[in-house]
Amino acid sequence: MKSSSSNGLLVVDKPGGMTSRAAVDRALAWFPRGTRLGHTGTLDPLATGVLVLCVGVATRLTEYVQRMEKTYRAGLLLGARSTTDDADGTVEAVQVDRPPDQGTVVCRLREFLGVIAQAPPAFSAAKVTGRRAYDLARQGKEVVLEARTVQIYQIDLLRYDYPRLDLEVRCGKGTYLRSLARDLGERLGCGGLIETLRRTRVGPFHAAGALHLETDAGTARGRLLSPAAAVADLPRLTLADAEVARLRQGQAVAVGGSTAVAHLAAGAEVAVFGPGDRLAAIAVHDPAAHCLRPAKVLPV
């Protein structure tokens, strides 16, 4: 569904050599001055591909896009290490007497499937005592980041010809492909880094349908998606105007007879729509009280 005003989502194809912030600045030129706009998950300058932008009131929904599953195509270079865990850093070759064979690579890749602990790269947006890790790393300070729990659903080995291998990775929020390359290289005993990286999908948003930053403003605004696209992963429920108004006033709404939410656990989030199929709120299911309680409401 298209959005009729400067509120909604844009899917852009970020080029290499550009920060995500720079891509946002370029996209701002498509909209009236003062329009709020932000991205939903940083891509490194080296990386290309899907960058989902939230515009106007949709900036209140960035967390839902950030939770969505992502797919990457990654080109790894083995036999080397980098200060940034990718080809943009200072790269040092590693002497390898016997390169790992494909069977060994496949076995080591399987070890990264599922819920794993992963330490972010030193040069990353992760915070250390309130400061961005990359700020400290650029000052030459030692950066020690605690491992975080991430989930990797699938890793496909597309090509292997030492020292290079190509992977397709399907993963959850917060997964660093640079960390995967680094850790795989360490387990193989040869070092590893990201040489190329492209994000091909975020949830339902694919690179094939993404906008290029050279697109003219009229075309870009015409491709604006409804804010509802940000909550595509949530169960949805349509309520009458009076019930929507109650949610917007911070009041709970009874849903005891609704089969749409009967199966949901306590605390489950629901995307609430009003008449006209317009997203009105995000509510939390309270099965004990047979109601929905407002968690986030959007303006009329």
Catalogue the active-site residues. 44
Residue 179 CA to residue 122 CA, distance in Å, equals: 10
Cβ contacts of 272-276, under 8 Å, gap ≥ 24: 272/236, 272/237, 272/238, 272/239, 272/244, 272/247, 273/228, 273/236, 273/237, 273/238, 273/239, 274/238, 274/239, 274/240, 274/241, 274/244, 275/238, 275/240, 275/241
**Which residue's structure tokens are 């199966």?**
263
Using CB atoms within 10 Å of the CB of residue 115, give its burial: 0 to 12 exposed, 13 to 18 middle, 19+ buried.
Answer: exposed
